[in-house]
Amino acid sequence: MTTITKLLIANRGEIASRVIRTAREMDIPCVAVYSDADADADFVREADEAVHLPGTAPADTYLRADLVLEAARVTGADAIHPGYGFLSENAGFARACADAGITFVGPPPEAIESMGSKIEAKKTMAAAGVPVLPGITIDTDAEIDASALSARVADDIGYPVLVKAAFGGGGRGMRIVREEAGLVEAVEGARREAVTAFGDGTVFLERYLDAPRHIEVQIFADTQGNVVHFFERECSIQRRYQKIIEEAPSPIVDGALREELGSAAVAAGKAIGYVGAGTAEFVMGADGRFYFLEVNTRLQVEHPVTELVTGLDLVRLQLHVAEGNPLPDEALDASITGHAIEVRLYAEDVAAGFLPATGTVHGFTVPDLPGIRVDAGVSEGSEVGVHYDPMLAKVIAYGATRDEARRRLARALSESSLHGVVTNRELLVGILREPEFAAGTIDTGYLTRHDPLALARAGRGASIVPVHTLAAALAAQATHRAEARVLGTLPSGWRNVPSGWQETSFEVEGEDVAVRYRLTRGGLRAEVAGEALDAVLHEASPQRVDLTVAGVRRTCAVRRVAEVAYVDSALGSTTLAETARFPEPGSLNAPGSLLAPMPGTVVRVSVEEGARVAEGTTILVLEAMKMEHTIAAPTDGIVTEIRVTTGQTVDLGAVLAVVEEPS
């Protein structure tokens, strides 16, 4: 038995804040560690003490076990909670904590090692009677023989094949290969991504089940030999192999199947001598048969849904077990009450194929509705860069039934605002309100069957652009009048020549939209994009515009930051960048220029200048927010310029290469 007197959190963002919240309730002082990029982050201010890790990249900061242990030494922390990601599943780090006399809030190093390799994990699970899928392994330093690899896959697995990193998780390095032609490139790409994310390029290939359900089971174990499960979570709504919506319990799992899943998960925990919080993950086919994926030897991102349906605080239990205590009765006899659904709010551009987004957070609010919980890693003024995972916050809803939780969450999200960074909020709302999701008939192919962009736009009113652009223009004019130093009593939009129009334009979703309006004795006259609007203005202030358009009255909340207006109403949310009337002349990019779709680092240049390429040929690969993004030739042509080199950091919109069509 031991007592934790000071806890260091070896992580960042929302999970660091989450751990601090429970530790504070337990009267355990907390130490944060932070990189240069996180110097002003919320979790740093929330901790009792904080230690700077010089640098920005994870490999230089949060992944430096020596720096984290030194931070614990200088602050007198006698325990470390690793959160998830970074060092959380690093057996060497767990062992180093023990060697330093520091309690690692997680499983024993041996348990981490046994599950750290997906290959060895599957062998262990098969021996324990847990169902597994067939697969093969390619070591990090192994030479790839294309013909031999193709033969092994054909003989031992068959297509389609899932390629994934053998160490780590979170969807890093995952590729689906449906035919022999793309096999080698997928393996090589997965290797690079695995090295970047986990420091080991070993990859694992296994048979891919088309559109299965992704079901996981929360397990918990203490040092007295108790191993229990806290039921299942449904994690089938995914994009790019990463979860975006999770719920507990699963809408497809009945009592008998729950017992079967739970027994398999507990068997997995016992087989590896588990201690603490862990998750056994399974894929389930349409026939109800399930197969082992992995055991995540850490707390999961989606743990709040389990907390809400069981009434347990999993972080509190982690700390309780780490002190050598047995699991309390409420954990040994846990039960499910109600339903909970969680969404992950990501900084990403759905319309651009889920590309990561960056920026400064303005006005992040979630309405305070019954049953709503928010675990956030950002707040007003937070900077979202390219170095870390793009998840900004988790919004979780609890209800007596699944439908109640679903409706509460959809309403809370639809009334939320997060400005300054492009997010997936509207996609999440669209999914929650879509009939197939509402019925619970979901699987990992959901976002293949349903167009993400169509889902994101489903909840937006058709008149959102004209209403919001007019509201932004009227709010801007109200701001000008409020700031006027002379003739401040004149009404907004007053003109010496009554027939004069106020004119402005905004860039909205990549298009320029012109707005013209006049405020006359007869009321408001307005045109948007050349179309006259039947509009009545009731009130206009810099932050609020009360407007009737086409017989429907709505209130628009307007937030202006520099030349950008963020407008929210019942129609949805819009970002409008005011277009300069007299823009500075700028140089035009050469025809055929390939531009960086996001800030990032060049990890591979695949062709040389002068090469003749076909449409779709990979020109180079960018990495941003731990994910690789391929820049391909948009047409057949000749690569006339390569303007970047491997390892170079580029900004959004930078010219990377030029591909000219042959004359």
Domain extent listing, the chain:
7-105, 134-207, 210-337, 338-459, 464-578, 593-660
Could you tell me which residues come within 8 angstroms of residue 141 by beta carbon, excluding any fewer than 6 positions away?
A: 201
Per-residue confidence (pLDDT) for residue 171, from 0 to 100: 67
In the structure, what pLDDT confidence band is assigned to residue 581 with cuts at 50, 70 and 90? low
Whether the Cβ atoms of residue 312 and residue 335 lie closer than 8 Å to each other:
no
Whether the Cβ atoms of residue 214 and residue 235 lie closer than 8 Å to each other:
yes
Share of the chain above pLDDT 90, in %: 72
pLDDT of residue 345 exceeding 60, the answer is yes
Per-residue confidence (pLDDT) for residue 67, from 0 to 100: 98
State the average pLDDT over residues 264-280.
Answer: 97
In the structure, what pLDDT confidence band is assigned to residue 420 with cuts at 50, 70 and 90? very high
Per-residue confidence (pLDDT) for residue 155, from 0 to 100: 86
In the structure, what pLDDT confidence band is assigned to residue 231 with cuts at 50, 70 and 90? very high
18-69 pLDDT, tens digit each: 999 999 999 999 999 999 999 999 999 999 999 999 999 899 999 999 999 9
603-648 pLDDT, tens digit each: 999 999 999 999 989 999 988 876 788 899 999 999 999 999 998 9
CATH number for the segment(s) 338-459 = 3.30.470.20
Q: How distant is the alpha carbon of residue 112 from its chain centre? A: 25
Token pair 């972080």 in the structure block, residue: 315
132-180 pLDDT, tens digit each: 988 888 888 788 888 888 888 888 888 999 998 887 666 677 899 998 9
389-414 pLDDT, tens digit each: 999 999 999 999 999 999 999 999 99
237-262 pLDDT, tens digit each: 999 889 999 999 999 999 999 999 99
pLDDT of residue 10 exceeding 60, the answer is yes
Distance CA 55, CA 395 (A): 30
| CA atoms 539, 540, 545, 549: torsion sign | positive
Per-residue confidence (pLDDT) for residue 373, from 0 to 100: 98
More confident call, 521 vs 124:
124
Q: Which CATH class is domain 210-337?
A: alpha beta
pLDDT of residue 498 exceeding 70, the answer is no
Token pair 């470390």 in the structure block, residue: 80
Per-residue confidence (pLDDT) for residue 364, from 0 to 100: 94
Architecture of domain 464-578: 2-Layer Sandwich (3.30)
Q: How confident is the prediction for the chain on average, in pLDDT?
A: 91
At the topology level, CATH places domain 7-105 in Rossmann fold (3.40.50)
In the structure, what pLDDT confidence band is assigned to residue 488 with cuts at 50, 70 and 90? low
Distance CA 415, CA 144 (A): 51
249: preceding bond cis by omega (within 30 degrees): yes
Identical topology for domains 210-337 and 338-459 = yes
Q: Which two tokens stand for residue 244?
A: 């975006």
More confident call, 630 vs 224:
224
Distance CA 609, CA 641 (A): 6
Residue of 46, 39, 105, 16 whose CA lies nearest to 391: 16
CATH number for the segment(s) 593-660 = 2.40.50.100
pLDDT of residue 514 exceeding 60, the answer is yes
pLDDT of residue 592 exceeding 90, the answer is no
Architecture of domain 134-207: 2-Layer Sandwich (3.30)
Q: What share of the chain is helix, strand, coil (3-state, %, to 5)?
A: 30, 35, 40
Per-residue confidence (pLDDT) for residue 183, from 0 to 100: 92
pLDDT of residue 494 exceeding 70, the answer is no
